[in-house]
Amino acid sequence: MKEGKWGKNMVDTFHIKENRPFPNNELPVLYWPKAVEEWTNEKKAGQKVLALFEKNGYTNGWVNGIFPYHHFHSNTHEVLACIAGEAKVQLGGPDAETYTFAKGDVLLLPAGVAHKRLEATADFQIVGAYPNGQKPDMQKGDTESYEDLKQRASQVKVPETDPLDGAAGAVQQHWKNKAQ
């Protein structure tokens, strides 16, 4: 496989187990430490990251933060890039692992993976986007619809492109084989 700008070995993966009522996903979370750090001290960091994501097929983007409650999207994957500050983020629902998400880091969350900001610096800011401009649903762990939401999240197609490297990136290396 061809290596992209960010390098295929520069990504870490986290496997998030099912944690009812949060389905999570068999696909791993992809984590690129300091992947966009070169842009974080620029005035238009958010616009530069959004442009990179858009170039690689991740649109419907925004600049903001992470909600302080457990939530997930059953209909789309989500890429997040930290452009300022840092936060402690819990991935997978209550009693799950906590990760530090810092300036320059990028996460690609598979559909169904719960995420919550536990604490953050005052300047914490992220850029988010979705493959093919998908509009995310907002799920907070509905126990009555759990099985339907779990099935829906597991059936979200693997994107054709990687948010950082387009057609030659970690999505193809870590997600394509698992989804087939």
- Burial of residue 135 (CB within 10 Å: 0-12, 13-18, 19+) is exposed
Instruction: Render pLDDT for 42-65 as a digit per residue (tens, 0 to 9).
Output: 889 999 999 999 999 999 999 999
Instruction: Render pLDDT for 107-162 as a digit per residue (tens, 0 to 9).
Output: 999 999 999 999 999 999 999 999 999 999 999 998 899 999 999 999 999 999 99
Ordered structural domains, the chain, with CATH: 8-179 (2.60.120.10)
Instruction: Render pLDDT for 87-115 as a digit per residue (tens, 0 to 9).
Output: 999 999 999 999 999 999 999 999 999 99
Question: What tokens does 114 get?
Answer: 């719960």
Nearest to 177 by CA among 2, 28, 10, 66: 28
Q: What is d(CA 61, CA 78) in angstroms, rounded to the nearest whole number?
A: 10
Q: In what order do the strands lie in the sheet with 115-120?
A: 98-102, 86-91, 115-120
